[in-house]
Amino acid sequence: MGRLDDLQAQLQAAGLLVLRPEQLHEPAEAAPLDTQGRPVVGGGLMGLARYFEQHPAGYVQLQDPAGLLALGALDLSLLTIECLAPDSDRADALALAIKRAIRNHGVRPTPYTFATARTERSPNLVRHLLTFEVREPGTGV
Can you list the domains of the chain with their CATH numbers?
3-24+56-137 (3.30.2000.30)
Q: Are 79 and 132 in contact (CB under 8 A)?
A: yes
Question: For 68-101, b where at least 16 C-beta lie within 10 A, e where not — what string?
Answer: eeeeeeebebebbbbbbbbeeebbeebbebbbeb
Note the pTM of the prediction, 2 decimals. Answer: 0.83
CA distances from 134 to 15, 23, 35, 50, 74 (A): 22, 22, 44, 34, 10
Per-residue pLDDT of the chain (141 residues; tens, 9 = 90+): 477 888 899 999 999 999 999 999 888 887 777 778 777 776 667 788 889 989 999 999 999 988 766 666 677 888 999 999 999 999 999 999 999 998 876 666 678 888 999 999 998 999 999 999 888 776 655
